[in-house]
């Protein structure tokens, strides 16, 4: 089996998920210059809600096709996450809009911890497994394998990104978002209701996070109240790699980070003579984050560099 191609495929799948979560970080940063550390937890809640719905449906109607059951889970998770993201902004961040930047940042970490603990109370400490109800076809290309689920994740992720791109570039709301990201003051002078645009940003980012949450739990076959932490940090690293605040950058950074991680995990054993194994794969995201912060803090596509916090 060709390791390189195989890891490239795995990286593409991982990257598709990272990119979706990274978009949430970058959109909020673009408008509020706030790193919304609770975003990883919103993704986790998306996975948990979807799994609860899937569990309920399987119990009530076991003969329903697996794809429909998962789809129902996603369709409930999306509005649930949107509501959560909307509430987080309104309750936790909006009152601090004019506060020094460190205050909302610490608040974001606080919200993240609260959500983890709420999830632990609701869904428990143990891993929740994703039932094997999706088609499990495997295809071989040039000696590497790709599953139906992997194809589906990549295609869905690309379509979500394309839709977001159209929304941001072509619609009135998208133009208002871009204007607000550049200057809230001047956008308001144009008649833009800045609070509404900020709410819309959280709604959109959280909807995308819900999709990513279901993807990641379906891919690994499980969900856990703590899964949002590492996923969020990696997605944040991806957003920084692409240039935080830049939407195309988050997409590129997510994809690249997935590949780096997969290839790194695939070759780290050979490179270290077997001293380090593929379970070190999490190291790569942060290695990349450090390299970017040292050598190109504005990221691959970013123009601005944050001055602090």
Partner 1 sequence: MSLLEVRGLKVSYGGIHAVRGIDFEVAEGELVCLIGANGAGKSSSLKGILGMVHASSTIHFDGARISGLPTHTIAGLGISLVPEGRGVFARLTVGENLDMGAFLRKDHPGIRADLDKVYSLFPRLAERRTQLAGTLSGGEQQMLAIGRALMSRPRLLLLDEPSMGLAPLMVRKIYETIASIAQEGATILLVEQNANLALKISQRAYVMESGMVTLSGASPDLIKDSQVRAAYLGE
Please report, as ranges, the residues that interact with partner 1 according to CB under 8 A.
172, 175-176, 178-179, 182-183, 185-194, 303
What is the smallest separation between the CB atom of 303 and partner 1, expressed in angstroms? 8
CB nearer partner 1, residue 9 or residue 32: 32
What is the smallest separation between the CB atom of 193 and partner 1, expressed in angstroms? 5
Per-residue tokens: 156: 């869905």
* Residue 109 to residue 81: CA distance in whole angstroms: 18
CB nearer partner 1, residue 178 or residue 296: 178
What is the smallest separation between the CB atom of 51 and partner 1, expressed in angstroms? 40
* Residue 264 to residue 266: CA distance in whole angstroms: 5
Count other Cβ atoms within 10 Å, centred on residue 90: 14
What is the smallest separation between the CB atom of 189 and partner 1, expressed in angstroms? 5
Place of tokens 């609860």: 52
8 Å CB contact between 203 and 90: no
Per-residue tokens: 128: 């929740």
Place of tokens 């309104």: 90
* Residue 197 to residue 268: CA distance in whole angstroms: 44
CB nearer partner 1, residue 56 or residue 173: 173
* Residue 87 to residue 21: CA distance in whole angstroms: 18
What is the smallest separation between the CB atom of 164 and partner 1, expressed in angstroms? 17
CB nearer partner 1, residue 173 or residue 233: 173
Place of tokens 């089996």: 1
CB nearer partner 1, residue 134 or residue 167: 167
Place of tokens 């949430």: 24
What is the smallest separation between the CB atom of 24 and partner 1, expressed in angstroms? 21
CB nearer partner 1, residue 74 or residue 177: 177
């Amino acid at each position: 089996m060709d390791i390189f191609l195989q890891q490239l495929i795995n990286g593409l799948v991982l990257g598709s998920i990272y990119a979706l979560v990274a978009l949430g970080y970058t959109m909020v940063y673009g408008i509020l210059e706030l790193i919304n550390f609770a975003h990883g937890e919103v993704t986790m809640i998306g996975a948990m809600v979807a799994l609860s719905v899937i569990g309920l449906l399987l119990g009530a109607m076991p003969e329903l096709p697996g794809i429909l059951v998962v789809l129902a889970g996603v369709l409930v998770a999306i509005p649930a996450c949107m509501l959560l993201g909307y509430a987080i902004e309104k309750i936790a961040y909006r009152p601090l809009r004019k506060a020094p930047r460190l205050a909302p940042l610490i608040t974001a970490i606080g919200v993240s911890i609260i959500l983890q603990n709420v999830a632990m109370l609701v869904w428990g400490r143990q891993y929740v497994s994703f039932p094997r109800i999706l088609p499990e076809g495997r295809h071989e290309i040039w000696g590497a394998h790709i599953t139906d689920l992997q194809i589906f994740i990549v295609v869905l992720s690309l379509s979500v990104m394309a839709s977001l791109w159209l929304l941001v570039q072509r619609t009135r709301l998208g133009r208002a978002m871009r204007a607000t990201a550049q200057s809230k003051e001047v956008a308001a002078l144009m008649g833009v209701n800045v609070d509404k645009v900020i709410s819309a940003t959280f709604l959109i980012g959280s909807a995308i996070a819900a999709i990513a949450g279901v993807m990641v739990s379906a891919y690994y076959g499980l969900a856990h109240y703590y899964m949002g932490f590492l996923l969020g940090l990696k997605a944040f690293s991806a957003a920084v790699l692409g240039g935080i605040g830049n939407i195309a950058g988050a997409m590129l950074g997510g994809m690249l980070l997935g590949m780096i991680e997969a290839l790194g995990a695939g070759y780290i054993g050979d490179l270290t003579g077997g001293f380090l194994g593929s379970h070190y794969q999490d190291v790569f995201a942060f290695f990349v984050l450090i390299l970017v912060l040292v050598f190109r803090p504005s990221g691959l596509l970013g123009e601005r560099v944050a001055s602090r916090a």
